[in-house]
Structure 1
Amino acid sequence: MALWDSIPRREASVIVAGMTHVVREADRPGSKINKKEIVEAVTIVETPPMVAIGVVGYIETPRGLRALKTVWAEHIGEEAKRRFYKNWSKSKKKAFTKACKKWEDDLGKKEIENDLKQIAKYASAVRLICHTQQKLLKRRQKKAHIMEIQLNGGSIPDKISFAREHFEKEIPIRSVFTKDEMIDTIGVTKGKGFKGVTSRWHTKKLPRKTHKGLRKVACIGAWHPSRIQFTVARAGQKGYHHRTEINKKIYDIRRGFHTENGKIVKNNASTEYDIADKSINPMGGFPHYGEVKQDFMILKGCCVGPKKRVLTLRKSLLTHTKRKALESINLKFIDTSSKFGHGRFQTHADKMAFMGPLKKDKERAAARIAATASASA
Structure 2
Amino acid sequence: MGHRKYSAPRRGSIAFRPRARAKSLEARVRTWPQMSGEKAALLGFAGFKVGSIHVLTIDDREKTPNFGKQLLNAATVVAVPPIKIIGARGYKTDLYGQHAIFDIYAKDLPKELARRVEVKQAEDAQAKADAKVAEASSVVAIAAISPSAVDISQKKPFVFELAVSGKDARAQYEFVKGILGKEVRASDIFQVGQNVDVFGVTRGKGVEGPITRFGVKRKQHKSRKSVRAVGTLGPISPAVVMYTVARQGQRGFHQRTEYNKRILVMSNTEKDGSINPKGGFKHFGLVKGDYIVVRGSIPGVPKRLIKMRHPIRNVPKKVAEPKVLEVVVE
By the TM > 0.5 criterion, same fold? yes
Describe the shift of the 1:119–1:332 C-alpha distance in structure 2 as closer, same or farther (beyond 3 A).
Answer: farther
* Residue in 2 that maps onto 1:63: 96
Q: Which has the larger radius of gyration?
A: 1
Separation in 1, partners of 2:79, 2:63: 36
1:276-303 deviations in Å (ceiling 9; x for gaps): xx52011221111101112111101000
Q: For the structure 1 residues 297 and 236, does the alpha-carbon distance in structure 2 shift closer, same or farther, using more than 3 Å as the test?
A: same
CA distance in 2, matches of 1:45, 1:57: 30
Deviation, structure 1 residue 168: 1.5
8 Å contact kept, 2:138–2:168: no
- 2:307 equivalent to 1:312: yes
- Output the CA distance in 1 between the equivalents of 2:307 and 2:186: 12
1:2 corresponding residue in structure 2: 40
User: Which secondary structure does the structure 2 equivalent of 1:116 belong to?
Assistant: helix
Q: Equivalent residue for 1:202?
A: 215
Report what 1:19 is aligned to: 52
SS of 2:187's partner is helix
Contact 1:54 1:128 in 2 (8 A): yes
Say yes or no: does 1:189 pair with 2:202. yes
- Residue 198 of structure 1, CA deviation: 0.9
Q: CA RMSD in A?
A: 1.8
Q: Distance in 1 between matches of 2:88 and 2:61?
A: 43
Whole-Å separation in 2 of the counterparts to 1:113 and 1:169:
17
Note the alpha carbon deviations across 1:107-128, whole angstroms, 9 max, x for none: x2xx123222233211011001
Hey, what does 1:123 align to over in structure 2? 136
8 Å CA contact 1:40–1:300 kept in 2: the answer is yes
> CA shift at 1:321, angstroms?
4.5
Structure 2 distance, partners of 1:27, 1:149, is 32
TM-score of the two chains, using structure 2 as the length reference: 0.84
Pick which of 128-137 and 207-216 moved more: 207-216
1:78 aligns with 2:111: yes
Q: Which amino acid aligns with 2:79?
A: E
In the alignment, what sits opposite 1:226?
239
Equivalence for 1:89: none
C-alpha separation in 1, matches of 2:66 and 2:159: 43
Q: 1:59 to 1:284 in 2, by over 3 A?
A: same
Return 236-245 or 160-169, whichever deviates more.
160-169
Q: How does 1:1-377 map to 2 (within 5 A)?
A: 1-6=39-44, 13-29=46-62, 31-84=64-117, 95-96=118-119, 98-99=120-121, 102=122, 108=123, 111-257=124-270, 267-268=271-272, 278-321=273-316, 328-337=321-330
Contact 2:259 2:313 in 1 (8 A): no
Contact 1:71 1:115 in 2 (8 A): no
Q: Offset at 1:39?
A: 0.7
Amino acid at match of 1:304: P
> Which is bigger in relative contact order (C-alpha 8 A, separation at least 6)?
2
Tell me if the contact between 2:194 and 2:320 (Cα under 8 Å) persists in the aligned partners: no
Question: What SS does the aligned partner of 1:279 have?
Answer: helix
The Cα of 1:30 is off from its aligned counterpart by: 5.7
What is the percent sequence identity of the aligned residues?
Answer: 29
Name the amino acid aligned to 1:330.
K
CA contact (8 A) 2:104 2:126 kept: no
Task: Rate the CA distance shift 1:180–1:216 in 2: closer, same or farther, 3 A.
Answer: same
CA distance in structure 2 between the aligned counterparts of 1:30 and 1:163, rounded to whole angstroms: 41
Deviation at 1:184, TM superposition (A): 0.7
Matched position secondary structure for 2:163? strand
| Preserved contact between residue 53 and residue 131 of structure 1 (Cα < 8 Å) | yes
Letter in 2 for 1:150: A
Q: Please state how far the C-alpha of 1:160 moved relative to its aligned partner.
A: 1.9
* Higher share in helix: 1
- Alignment-mate amino acid for residue 42 of structure 2: W
154-163 or 234-243: which moved more?
Answer: 154-163
CA distance in 2, matches of 1:132, 1:65: 25
- Alpha-carbon distance in structure 1 between the residues aligned to 2:258 and 2:51: 17
CA drift of 1:188 comes to 0.7
Extract unaligned runs of 5+ from structure 2: 1-38
Q: Distance in 2 between matches of 1:314 and 1:235?
A: 34
1:178 alignment partner AA = Q
**1:365 equivalent in structure 2:** none
Greater mean alpha carbon deviation, residues 148-157 or residues 166-175: 148-157
Q: Distance in 2 between matches of 1:292 and 1:170?
A: 19
In the TM superposition, what whole-angstrom CA distance separates every residue of 1:327-376 from its partner, at most 9, and x where no partner exists? 54111000122xxxxxxxxxxxxxxxxxxxxxxxxxxxxxxxxxxxxxxx
Instruction: Check whether the contact 1:131–1:146 (CA below 8 A) recurs between aligned residues.
Output: yes
TM-score between the two structures when normalised by the length of structure 1: 0.74
Runs of 4+ in 1 over 3 A off after TM superposition: 28-32, 325-328
For 2:67, what is the secondary structure of its paired residue? coil
> Please, which runs of 5 or more residues in structure 1 have no aligned partner?
7-11, 85-94, 103-107, 258-266, 269-277, 338-377
